[in-house]
Amino acid sequence: MRYVGGKGRAYPRIINLMPPHRVYIETHLGGGSVLRHKLPAEESIGVEIDPAVVAKWLGRRDDSPEFRIVESDALAFLRGRKFVGDELVYADPPYLPSTRRRPGPRYRYDYTEAQHDELLREIRNLPCAVMVSGYASPLYDEILRGWCVHEIDVATQAGLTTERLWCNFPPPTLLHDYRFVGHGFRRRETIRRRVNRWVSRLDRMDPVERSAVVNAVVERFGTQPGADRTSSWRQDGESMT
């Protein structure tokens, strides 16, 4: 499923900025590139207002049981959920009309500037980690003032464009998903090979020696959420293109 503003080429950069979380919520789901590519959280939820899009998700034969789809307006969903702080919300609303290269509606369920304003003010007050995609605009910069801003270059049919990702947390040193670490394919491949090489060396060690090395690493750097996912670098990384 492809949609205007879909993150089919930007999802690695977005996933690379996601801190550890127990619950993942992606609003304005559309094609759900980020949800489909990231490692599942304990609970993953996709929120979409368009019944036709929801029907496509529910009709997919390979639809993952690891997440559920909720047919709802994003603002209503966020207002109705009781947040406890272990969630990560990723919001990718329709582009603000004033920032679009081509004027006019491009979505069946579009947003006015007033709706963007209302959504952002709700998001700003959520008591959990939040990420918001969009183009640079005075409205977003004003309401999300003080948030960390990342710029992501995206190749489109109209040429190279730069999107922004606003986060209400600093760049994390611990990630939920380490498979896409590295800016660009070559860098990711270099890191993946390095990790695979080190893990292979550990595999070949005597169990007691391996425990000594791992213990020394933990004492020096501390434990990291997701450390038991090391094998995913080898299994999923091999098929990365």
> Which has the closest alpha carbon to 144: 116, 181, 174?
116
Highest mean pLDDT among 55-59, 63-67, 120-124: 120-124
Could you give the domains of the chain? 11-167 (3.40.50.150), 185-239 (no CATH)
Owner of token pair 């990365």: 240
pLDDT tens track for 62-109: 555 578 999 999 999 999 999 999 999 999 998 887 787 666 566 677
pLDDT tens track for 205-231: 999 999 999 899 888 887 654 444 333
> What average pLDDT does the chain have?
84
Q: Which own/partner pairs from 96-99 qualify as long-range (CB within 8 Å, at least 24 positions apart)?
A: 96/134, 96/135, 96/137, 96/139, 96/140, 98/137, 99/134, 99/135, 99/136, 99/137
> Which has the closest alpha carbon to 30: 67, 4, 11?
4
Main-chain dihedrals φ then ψ at residue 122, nearest 5 degrees: -70, -45
pTM (global) more than 0.85: no
